[in-house]
Amino acid sequence: MTQYNRPNETVFASGAKPGELENFPDIARGWGIAFDQTDGIPPMEWFNALFKRSDEAVRYLLQKGISEWSPTEDYPIGAHVQESDKVWKAKVSSSGKRPSQTPSDWVETALSRDALVTLIQEQLGGIGIKVRVRVASTANLNLSGLQIIDGINVLDGDRVLVKNQNLEAANGIYVVSSTAWVRASDADSSNKVQPGMLIHIESGNSQLNSLWQLATDGPIVLGSTGLAFEMVAGYTGVNPGTYRSLTVDRYGRITAGNNPSTLADYGISAATQAEAEAGSDNFKPMTPLRVAQAIYVRLVQATESVLGLAKTATQAQTNAGTDDATIVTPKKLRAGFSASLGVNGYISFPSWLGGVIFQWGYYSGSLDDLTALITFPIPFPNLNMNVSVTADGGQSGAGYFVTAGAQKVSTAQFRLNGYGTNMPSIGYHWFAIGY
């Protein structure tokens, strides 16, 4: 295919190259025909030369699409031209001003794909968003050769976020090579590495699809300033689930979660024993032990004048009758007390009342002279102190009388002695005391 060049703007015969000169008059007013020079009929060669020039100009425009800029052309606002392998649009009316050198008059337009990609990258770099990297380091790296990073075999040309170097000034974005690595072109100078720039991690076992930010404050001198990167989005290692306690970093990410079961796990301080006993704090919770301690400190020994607590007396304490700080229950009071309320009976008092026993009975006899061995309803445990007898019955008048007496035999018996005259039937009441 024939490649057409831009036609020569010189239209005069004096500008023709050797061999190109046709017998065509030089007319200062431009293209035209003077009939007085040709007897009214232009030679065919003149038409052929004119049409050839017009055809070449049209084909040139068809091939180019947009004409090349000309220093002699006047361009109105909005005109499009090519210059320096780029397409430009006139911002103002212009003449003789080369587009690539006069940005006040011309603006680049109709970018190529590569130029558009470059422009987008430059603009993203300006706002701090870098082209994604394949992986990010997890430890100090030897910045040379192909290797495995975060479980991924990196290849020649892969971009890597290096963020764990022992020397933080060596951190940054690098391009993998089988030899020594170099910094990526969008992060190889101080003005391209700005605080807050963001880098997306494409792959990796632990950092897949995470977003990292340069946390170092400016100004930054690449190669001298330590570069620190922090994850601002991505998997933090916390498994999905429901948690009652969470740890959140300054970017709002959940970095830990657990389910506390005690106040201490929640970071809540319970009241101390001193605080529980003082009873003045109105904010701290109390454990069952502290509640008991708070109550106990307010429970004092009960006395005749002080309301408080008192223990229940033991039977031994009740029997001893000397303790004045315990309480005697009805059961303890009843213990040791017994009675048999009949013609022959007794009342036995508890030991705390001295253990005294009262016994009584009735004996009926039919002889004037009587001696009877009487057994007590219950034996005295320790001592038969006294027995008294009273006669019951007899007749009035001269010659009738009765007497009675008692003789202690043991703690279980006594002997009743009775005597009377003319008494065919008589009874005796007796009463004994002991303990």
Confidence band for 28, pLDDT divided at 50, 70 and 90: very low
For 141-156, letters b (16+ CB in 10 Å) and e give: bebeeeeebbebebee
Please check the confidence at residue 30 and state whether its pLDDT lies above 50: no
* Domains, the chain, with CATH or none: 1-65 (no CATH), 67-110 (2.10.10.90), 135-234 (no CATH), 338-434 (2.60.40.3940)
Please check the confidence at residue 287 and state whether its pLDDT lies above 90: no
Terminal C-alpha separation, the chain? 151
Asked if residues 193 and 222 have their Cβ atoms less than 8 Å apart, the reply is: yes
**Beta pairing partners, 149:** 152
Please check the confidence at residue 199 and state whether its pLDDT lies above 80: yes
Average pLDDT over every residue of 407-412: 94
CA-to-CA separations, 46 to 4, 16, 25, 102, 206, in angstroms, rounded:
21, 14, 9, 41, 80
CA-to-CA separations, 2 to 9, 63, 409, in angstroms, rounded:
20, 10, 166
Give the integer Cα–Cα distance in Å for 344 and 432: 11
Residue with tokens 């303990």: 435
Confidence band for 342, pLDDT divided at 50, 70 and 90: very high
Q: Is the dihedral of CA 5, 10, 11, 13 positive or negative?
A: negative
Lowest mean pLDDT among 292-301, 390-399, 401-410: 390-399
Tell which wins on pLDDT, 165 or 257.
Answer: 165
Lowest mean pLDDT among 163-172, 197-206, 420-429: 420-429
Give the integer Cα–Cα distance in Å for 347 and 378: 10
Report the candidate in 159, 157, 154, 103 with the shortest Cα–Cα distance to residue 130: 159
Lowest mean pLDDT among 24-28, 102-106, 273-277, 412-416: 24-28
Confidence band for 189, pLDDT divided at 50, 70 and 90: very high
Lowest mean pLDDT among 25-34, 111-120, 215-224, 330-339: 25-34
Asked if residues 348 and 341 have their Cβ atoms less than 8 Å apart, the reply is: no
Give the integer Cα–Cα distance in Å for 362 and 343: 7
- The confidence score (pLDDT) of residue 127 equals 63
Q: Which residues contact 253 (CB under 8 A, 6 or more apart)?
A: 231, 232, 233, 236
Model confidence pLDDT, tens digit, residues 69-90: 888 888 999 888 888 888 889 9
Confidence band for 351, pLDDT divided at 50, 70 and 90: confident
Give the pairing type, strands 135-136 and 159-162.
parallel
Q: Token pair of 226, please?
A: 């330590």
CA-to-CA separations, 358 to 287, 340, 343, in angstroms, rounded:
58, 10, 13
Confidence band for 52, pLDDT divided at 50, 70 and 90: low
Q: Tell me the pLDDT of the chain averaged across its residues.
A: 82
Angle among Cα 19, 20, 26 to the nearest 5 degrees reads 125
Give the integer Cα–Cα distance in Å for 360 and 370: 19
Angle among Cα 58, 64, 70 to the nearest 5 degrees reads 85
Give the integer Cα–Cα distance in Å for 378 and 24: 175
- The confidence score (pLDDT) of residue 210 equals 92
Confidence band for 345, pLDDT divided at 50, 70 and 90: very high
Lowest mean pLDDT among 165-169, 315-319, 413-417: 315-319
Asked if residues 410 and 338 have their Cβ atoms less than 8 Å apart, the reply is: no
- The confidence score (pLDDT) of residue 183 equals 97
- How many other β-carbons are positioned within 10 Å of the β-carbon of residue 187? 24
Please check the confidence at residue 31 and state whether its pLDDT lies above 50: no
- The confidence score (pLDDT) of residue 29 equals 46
- Estimate to the nearest angstrom the gap between the alpha carbon of 285 and the chain centroid: 21
* Omega of the bond leading into 219 within 30 degrees of 0 (cis): yes
Lowest mean pLDDT among 236-245, 356-365, 389-398: 389-398
What percentage of the chain exceeds 90 in pLDDT? 37
Tell which wins on pLDDT, 27 or 167.
Answer: 167
Model confidence pLDDT, tens digit, residues 36-51: 555 555 555 555 555 6
What percentage of the chain exceeds 70 in pLDDT? 77
Tell which wins on pLDDT, 25 or 390.
Answer: 390
Q: SS3 for the chain, per residue?
A: CCCCCCCCCCCCHHHCCCCCCCCCCCCCCCCCCCHHHHCCCCCHHHHHHHHHHHHHHHHHHHHHCCCECCCCCEECCCCEEEECCEEEEECCCEECCCHHHCCCCEEEECCCHHHHHHHHHHHHHHCCECCCECEECCCCCCCECCCEECCEECCCCCEEEECCCCCHHHCEEEECCCCECEECHHHCCHHHCCCCCEEEECCCCCCCCCEEEECCCCCCCCCCCCCCEEEEECCCCCCCCCCCEEEECCCCCEEEEECCCCCCCCCCCCCCHHHHHHCCCCCCCCCHHHHHHHHHCCCCECCCCCCCECEECCHHHHHHCCCCCEECCHHHHHCCCEEECCCCEEEECCHHHCCCEEEEEEEEECCCEEEEEEECCCCCCCCEEEEEEEEECCCCCCCCEEEEEEEECCCCEEEEEEEEECCCCEEEEEEEEEC
Lowest mean pLDDT among 50-59, 113-122, 251-260, 419-428: 50-59
